[in-house]
Structure 1
Amino acid sequence: MHSSNHIVKFADDPTVVGLISKNNESAYIKELQRLTAWCRANNLSLNVEKTKEMVVNFSRVQSDHSLLFLAGSPVDIVKSTKLLGVHLVENFT
């Protein structure tokens, strides 16, 4: 696992948290590919329809975030989500 990524596991809901610096998403993408391969190797399936991505950008310069694909399907980008009972919003208001 790359030091800028963390996987939080609770029951059957893994959460991948990745720090993307200087628009370099490669470590984050590799982590997701490793997670997908691990699930496949252990006969687990990721429900892409229930998979969401939330982008939190603390940079002064806003940049485009490339669309994420899992198992050939695009992952929805959301502005808020609920994680372990806590509601998170992309700007933390």
Structure 2
Amino acid sequence: MVVDFRRAQSDHSPLFIDGSPVEIVKSTKFLGVHLAENFTWSLNTTSITKKAQQHLYFLRRLRKAHLPPPILTMFYRGTIKSNLSSCITAWFGNCTVSDRKTLQWIVRTAEKIIGVSLTSITDMYTTRCIRKANNIVDDLTHPSHTLFTLLPSGKRVLQVGGW
């Protein structure tokens, strides 16, 4: 995949590895996350939404089988929520409003099926980011450790350096 932000797009000369040309693609899947050459996350969101809708079908089937809400919630957390929050700290912050609404629609649909209140997609993202920041603060060997310091209360993290 070639990432080129120049205004005047030009053809790139082929890259050869061991005498074989490397194929240039518009997008790729790496560690379960769809990356596009223009760094938009719509392809990734579409993939996540498609998987989540498939799992919603099974959630509806379980509801029709009269399973109690705690079991349905456990199924939701193990399949739908884990899918929605996979690598969420990497991609959710740059999602379009439309993509965020689509993802939240999945959560609301699951709420209606189960009959209980569930964590919103934005809260999932915020929770994961805070947890990641706290892990960086606690790990003295982390390359980004110096970018964060605890406030005097010791309960909140202050970002020192810029990203």
**Higher radius of gyration, 1 or 2:** 2
Normalised by the length of structure 1, the TM-score is: 0.45
Which structure ranks higher in relative contact order (CA pairs < 8 Å, sequence separation ≥ 6)?
1
Normalised by the length of structure 2, the TM-score is: 0.29
Higher relative strand content? 1
